[in-house]
Chains A and B, each alone.
Chain A
Amino acid sequence: MLLEEAVSSGPMFFSLVPWMVCFPVIGLLINMFFGGMILERSKAGEKIVGSIASVAVGLTFVVAVLQAISLMGHPEGQVVPLADWITIGDLSIPWAFQVDTLSVVMMLFVSGVGTLIHIYAIGYMHEDVRHNGDPSRFRRFFVFMNLFIAAMMILISGSNYMMLFVGWEGVGLCSYLLIGFWYDKGKDGIGNALAAKKAMVTNRIGDFGFLLAAFSIFYLFRTYDFHTIFEKAPEVAAQNPGALLFITLCMLVGVTGKSAQFPLYVWLPDAMAGPTPVSALIHAATMVTAGVYLVARSAELYVLVPTAQFWVTLVGAATALLAATIAVGQFDIKKVLAYSTISQLGFMVAAVGMGAFVAGMFHLVTHAFFKALLFLSSGSVIQGLERGHHHVEHDPKLKKLLKGHAHDFDPQDMRNMGGLKDQMKITFWVYLIGAIALAGIPPLAGFWSKDEILADASKEFTWAYILLTIAAVFTAFYMTRQILMVFFGKPRTLAAEHAKESPPVMTVPLMILAALSVFGGLLNLPFAGFHNFAHWLEHTLGELAHAGEFVPLVALLSTLLALASIGVGYWLYHPRRYEQFWSAPAARRPDDPLRSYIGPVFDVLKNKYWVDELYWSLILNPYIALSRFLADVIDWRFWHDWFHDKVITGGFNLLTRLLAVRIDLGGIDAFFNGLATLVQRFAALLRQVQTGYVRNYALMIFVGVVVILGYLLLR
């Protein structure tokens, strides 16, 4: 309210909005065409390439800020058309940008967090390309990252479902390209490529749902434009409620694909094969939020179909709990964060399913801050470990101590870490801040957003409230486990002992994100006078954007449960106990102290409920068998070998033999040969007249004379 009153009718920068897409595109084009040259010619080539990309995203952020400023004066927003894209009959899909409070929220944090991640990536990729042995791939990374930003901008600023879909597909493509960035590395040399493929295919299944929804929308509404659809929605719902249910459920399929909910979440943990900035940007902060944005944008459709809302909430809450439990049994630092992302996305999806759109978007923004922070910090940790490993490998004195230090030393396995709080101080503190925010401890940002969701749930959806609260408990537990295993205790490997802190180009963005995680809650404190975010979104969502109430009981309960969970985690994993646990000889020691308490259940969690294996045996293997059957048996054996070779070729050969031998040789040749023979015989016959005797000739003449004379006389 304060902000609004300050700027009554301010400047308008709406027409600048196409630049949000143009800046990243220009950045990527410059890097694509000149990046190679820059990298070769200049010593600071990498810094230049990375800066070009970061500046492009930074400029996008500036434009987003300008849009926000414009909106403060003109809160109803504006649709900025750029060009007519498709016009066929009565279908018109323009390329138009919708600048309203909802899309600007997305624009701001995507470009803002994106800029920070780009800057961080300059430092991270500098080490990563050397670690993987291909420095020339540096600019490829930034080209793809800019492409991603461009696609994401299209997604969130589109004024119709088709433009949104263009962006949707674009971010899917970039996700594929970036997960498989090190396409020749990974397990067996194709592990990363397979992960990228998995992401693409699973996303595609979600896209199928999205497309079904889109086409049904066109069928019902004859347009893709948001405004028109939301206006007509109530009357269409009255006439044809089943259709609207179908549309919203199909959209839910798209959401489960893009935002990694059950059952299509399986690509996200595998996507950790990509470089850490990718995981941070795409798979934590931005792309995966596209699904939540879709539901929020289509809010007016969802509120008309309570059944769909139920399903969305169920999927979200169930996924939140499922993923949180799986995260407990993971040892890879990034996998824990991946499942944590899935779980938090479940929170968001449940929130928008319940109709708490403000709470969902709020959590989306705060989650972007602290999840990006956590991922980037984990990247810092991993690289610190790699630096330590490198140092150990190249120091002869230390190497002797190792006696065969594993070549498959995994710098991401938490069991190889420990004691890093002393080696990597900055990383430790920011990571701690991020973890506390995620666990939902006040007064950090995570608490406020998660609490609003829980408060809204407790009012009408008690079952969801219970599921989400349990998920929150697990969240606190696994983050405690992670912090303790990674940063506390004694270093468990030589690499951890010699880990080094990351350079400022990486740590400064981390600190900025940490600050945002601490103070981000101010966006929407649930107290009168502070509901800025809710008021902001009201302009777009109308009365659907209700301000969340502060329910003290819920807040207190969730805080206490979180603290208790942290306590349990500390009791299990505190440094001394863990050191004791670890000191037992490797052969007899189980992989985790938790195993002694829950035994075989830990296996279930560690193996992610065997969901991937289930998919393989139920869907993928039969599908592969079917395609093999179709290819080998039907296509090759039947179609090619039998039909083509025997029937067609054989038949053709038969026909040609018939024509050649029987008809051509036998018939036609025989005829003409016979004709020639006939002529020959006749000629031979006639030749006998030429006796050579002149007297015979004379006789013949005489005969002729006699005959003619006789004829003339007798006439």
Chain B
Amino acid sequence: MLADWILFIGLALVAVGSALGLLLSKNAVYAALNLIINFVTVAVFYLTLGAPFISLSQVTVYAGAIMVLFLFVIMLLGAERLGSGATLPWQRPLAFILGGILLFEAIYAILTRATGAGVPDRVPATYGSPATIGELLFSVYLLPFEVISILLLAAMVGAIVLTRKHDRAR
């Protein structure tokens, strides 16, 4: 039990810290790297929650593909550093205040409304395995699965169309 707590707290600190790092770093690449750390941490959380497939796909898709894409674009645009002139004076303070309020509300909600339902310590071995997820994916959630494929197709086409060069008269 204690090990769970230590693990949890440690990972939580890393996650929050990397999130803060994303927030505060002026260098876009550093921000991206912070985000990668965050993703990996969350993937570990998934493992603790008994979702191996998800955690590994998180690492693959999020950290591996999406962040790489981000880094490519950052490099392409040369936007490592950006000057910051505060054009909207109230933006920052208000954002922090609101963030604090929301945090407070959320904590309040969690503490007072929690049902205290127990989380089962043990889960079956097949819980979270690719086979079981696959079964669910291809039976109950078949339609969303197919729709997602079309969505990805649309995203591909969209990305290409948006970045097309228009120097030739068509």
A contacts B: CB pair < 8 Å: yes
Measured CB to CB, the residues of A under 8 A from B are 691, 693, 695-696, 699, 702-703, 705-706, 709-710, 713
- Residues of chain A with a CB closer than 8 A to B105's CB: 706, 709-710, 713
Instruction: Flag if A713 contacts B108 (CB, 8 Å).
Output: yes
- Residues of chain A with a CB closer than 8 A to B88's CB: 691, 693, 695-696
Chain A CB within 8 A of B94 CB: yes
Chain A CB within 8 A of B115 CB: no
- Show 18 residue pairs from A and B whose CB-CB distance is below 8 angstroms, ordered by the A residue: A691-B88, A693-B87, A693-B88, A695-B88, A695-B91, A696-B88, A696-B91, A699-B91, A699-B94, A702-B95, A702-B98, A703-B98, A705-B102, A706-B98, A706-B102, A709-B102, A709-B106, A713-B108
CB distance from A709 to the nearest CB of B (A): 5
The A interface, classified by DSSP as helix, strand, loop or mixed, is helix
Of all chain B residues, the one with the shortest Cβ separation from A705 is B102
Could you mark each residue 91-119 of chain B with 1 if its beta carbon is under 8 Å from any beta carbon of chain A, else 0?
10011001001100110110000000000
CB distance from A694 to the nearest CB of B (A): 11
- Residues of chain A with a CB closer than 8 A to B102's CB: 702, 705-706, 709
Question: A693 CA to B94 CA in the complex, in Å?
Answer: 15
Of all chain A residues, the one with the shortest Cβ separation from B90 is A699
Given A695-B88, A696-B91, A699-B95, A706:B109 Cβ within 8 A: no
Instruction: Flag if A713 contacts B109 (CB, 8 Å).
Output: yes
Of all chain B residues, the one with the shortest Cβ separation from A710 is B105
Interface pairs A-B: 7 shortest CB-CB: A706-B102, A709-B105, A713-B109, A706-B98, A706-B101, A702-B98, A710-B105
Contact size range, B: 10 to 19
Question: A709 CA to B109 CA in the complex, in Å?
Answer: 10
Of all chain B residues, the one with the shortest Cβ separation from A702 is B98
CB distance from B113 to the nearest CB of A (A): 8
CB distance from B90 to the nearest CB of A (A): 9
Question: A710 CA to B101 CA in the complex, in Å?
Answer: 9
- Residues of chain B with a CB closer than 8 A to A705's CB: 102
CB distance from A702 to the nearest CB of B (A): 6
Question: A702 CA to B102 CA in the complex, in Å?
Answer: 9
Question: A691 CA to B102 CA in the complex, in Å?
Answer: 24
CB distance from B116 to the nearest CB of A (A): 18
CB distance from A453 to the nearest CB of B (A): 132
CB distance from A715 to the nearest CB of B (A): 12
Question: A693 CA to B92 CA in the complex, in Å?
Answer: 14
Question: A280 CA to B91 CA in the complex, in Å?
Answer: 125
- Residues of chain A with a CB closer than 8 A to B95's CB: 699, 702
Question: A705 CA to B94 CA in the complex, in Å?
Answer: 14
- Residues of chain A with a CB closer than 8 A to B101's CB: 706, 710
Question: A602 CA to B88 CA in the complex, in Å?
Answer: 128
- Residues of chain B with a CB closer than 8 A to A710's CB: 101, 105
- Residues of chain A with a CB closer than 8 A to B87's CB: 693
CB distance from A367 to the nearest CB of B (A): 124
Question: A399 CA to B38 CA in the complex, in Å?
Answer: 150
Q: Which parts of B48-95 form the interface with A (CB within 8 Å)? A: 87-88, 91, 94-95
- Residues of chain B with a CB closer than 8 A to A696's CB: 88, 91
- Residues of chain B with a CB closer than 8 A to A693's CB: 87-88
Question: A667 CA to B87 CA in the complex, in Å?
Answer: 46
Question: A696 CA to B106 CA in the complex, in Å?
Answer: 23
- Residues of chain A with a CB closer than 8 A to B108's CB: 713
- Residues of chain B with a CB closer than 8 A to A691's CB: 88
- Residues of chain B with a CB closer than 8 A to A713's CB: 105, 108-109
- Residues of chain B with a CB closer than 8 A to A702's CB: 95, 98, 102
Of all chain B residues, the one with the shortest Cβ separation from A696 is B88
Question: A631 CA to B88 CA in the complex, in Å?
Answer: 88
Question: A691 CA to B101 CA in the complex, in Å?
Answer: 25
CB distance from B103 to the nearest CB of A (A): 10
Question: A706 CA to B104 CA in the complex, in Å?
Answer: 10
CB distance from B82 to the nearest CB of A (A): 14
